[in-house]
Amino acid sequence: MKFTKMHGLGNCYIYVNCFEEQVADASALARAVSDRNTGVGSDGLILIYPSRTADARMEMYNVDGSRGQMCGNAIRCVAKYVYDRGISRRNPMRIETDAGVLTLDLTVREGKVALACVDMGAPRLRPEDLPVALSPEQMVNHPVEVLGREGRMTCVSMGNPHAVVHGIPLSLLGPAELAAEGRRLETHPMFPERTNVHFAEVQGPGEVTVLTWERGSGATAACGTGASAVLVAGVLTGRNGRKATIHMPGGDLLIEWREADNHVYMTGPAVEIFSGEWPEG
């Protein structure tokens, strides 16, 4: 089975062209290829299929084999894969996901996609959209204890669930602390389907730094839907403006929540690392 490893700001996945390849057990394959000791090493698996409603369809699987609805960094790489290989040369391009069909404006340099601006759609702010066992009034600035300190958590769905925590200095969150607190919140009973967790530190109206713990994958260098949720949470709580650069360990994303259509727009790079062959499909 042929595969390609790609990344968006260090958030790397293994991509398989299911226009040509067949995958019998996607969950098992995700666990195998993602292993950084015995596999290729990645944050999960992305399968690229034909779509009846868009230029292509992406299926996302986390490191633990669980199915994810959407990944903002991965969808940019899917668009690059589809465009660069001539599967579709439409620009804007439409990609079908488990969270719906999203549109991407592509920046093409020397015949290949370098950047993509993704229309992430409108944020979903009802408890049942995540889901979370809180009332609508409790979803914004809800008190939450982290490392013995009181932070403030805001819940946002961008097609997948996110809990954004403000008020905890990122300097306190080393790898061990991020793993412990991220895992604890990810699996907290208030999130029946688990959640992605983001610790955000606001530098100003247009600048936010984030550390991320992804549901089913753990600490990751970047998260596109998470960066979108962080911006929305900051706007809802008056901490940042509607357009900001989100700094993550893997690099920066430009996020804008436009009042005109209530949609969130994410702009960032997509990079191909290498291709190879996996011995099992």
Per DSSP, the three-state class of 229 is helix
Residue 175: how many other CB atoms lie within 10 Å = 9
71 as an active site residue: the answer is yes
Dihedral of alpha carbons 168, 207, 123, 218, sign: negative
Phi and psi of 206, rounded to 5°?
-115, 20
Could you report how far apart the first and last alpha carbons of the chain are, in Å? Answer: 5
The secondary structure of the chain in percent helix, strand, coil, rounded to multiples of 5, reads: 20, 45, 35
List the catalytic residue out of 77, 117, 155, 223.
Answer: 223
Q: Which residue has the tokens 């990810």?
A: 186
Distance, in Å, from the CA atom of 73 to the CA atom of 67, rounded to the nearest integer, reads 16
Residue 258: how many other CB atoms lie within 10 Å = 13
List the catalytic residue out of 12, 71, 77, 117.
Answer: 71
Upstream peptide bond of 279 is cis (omega within 30 degrees of 0): no
12 as an active site residue: the answer is no
Per DSSP, the three-state class of 116 is strand
What stretches of 17-71 show up as alpha helix (H) in DSSP? 26-34
Report the catalytic residues: 71, 223
